[in-house]
A = this chain, B = another copy of it.
Amino acid sequence: MTVVRSPARAPSPRRRAILDAAAGLFAARGFHGTPIEEIGAAVGISGPALYRHFPGKEALLAEMLLDVSERLRAAGDERVTRAAGPQEALDALIRGQIDFALDHPALITVHDRELGNVPEPSRRQVRRLQRLYVEEWVTVLAELYPGAPPPRLRAATHAVFGLLNSTPHSAGELPREAMAVLLHGMARAALATMVNQD
């Protein structure tokens, strides 16, 4: 018998293609609104062929969200340790989130929309990774703005995620780099209000 199920063992191009196509479709029509048939069609195979690559539709979603959460967390982790000081770390986190959101708007959308459809073993894992990522931000912010209570910093972090992840909604309003600069400035300014204690 084979191993239980190693998530990202041999990333065959077919698997990749399926995950990419599914991300777009889930973002556009939602998990329940997307028949497995269409996912197959999007990569040139038809319907049940997906089961040669994933144990099921939910497992596909689970792998997708685990991958996103892990990539975000890992990237954040690396950027923070690479940074010289807290301000630099914060800028790196912001820039990282912006790049990801601009590069993969569909993944961002699915990530905060479909967690409820991930089956339970994986759901907890995704949540854990999300929490770690948030705490990464909170830690940096706490260094930068000591005196601000952590719940406040957590709420502010979520708010900034909302701001940065707005990208899928304002698609095409501005060229990419202009959008990146705009969002970066807004995020920085929004977080700078953490200095006030009121």
Question: Contact: B196 with A190, CB < 8 Å?
Answer: no
Chain A 174-198 per-residue mask, 1 if CB under 8 angstroms from chain B, else 0: 1000110111011101111100101
Residue A41, interface by CB 8 Å: no
Question: Contact: A33 with B117, CB < 8 Å?
Answer: yes
Residue A156, interface by CB 8 Å: yes
Chain A 113-145 per-residue mask, 1 if CB under 8 angstroms from chain B, else 0: 100110000000000000000000000000000
- CA A89 to CA B196, docked complex, whole Å: 24
Residue A40, interface by CB 8 Å: no
Q: Choose from B112, B116, B117, B158 the contact partner of A170 (Cβ within 8 Å).
A: B158
Question: Contact: B163 with A159, CB < 8 Å?
Answer: yes
Residue A52, interface by CB 8 Å: no
Which of the 9-residue segments A24-32, A42-50, A69-77 touches chain B? Answer: A24-32
Q: Which residue of B lies closest to A109 (CB)?
A: B113
Q: Choose from B162, B179, B196 the contact partner of A169 (Cβ within 8 Å).
A: B162
- CA A189 to CA B182, docked complex, whole Å: 13
Q: Which residues of B contact A152 (CB under 8 A)?
A: 173-174, 178, 182
What's the minimum C-beta distance from A176 to chain B, rounded to whole angstroms? 12
Residue A160, interface by CB 8 Å: yes
Residue A100, interface by CB 8 Å: no
Besides A155-B179, A189-B189, 10 more A-B contacts (Cβ < 8 Å) are: A155-B170, A155-B173, A159-B163, A159-B166, A160-B163, A161-B166, A163-B163, A163-B166, A186-B193, A190-B190
Closest 3 CB pairs of A and B: A162-B166, A32-B32, A158-B170
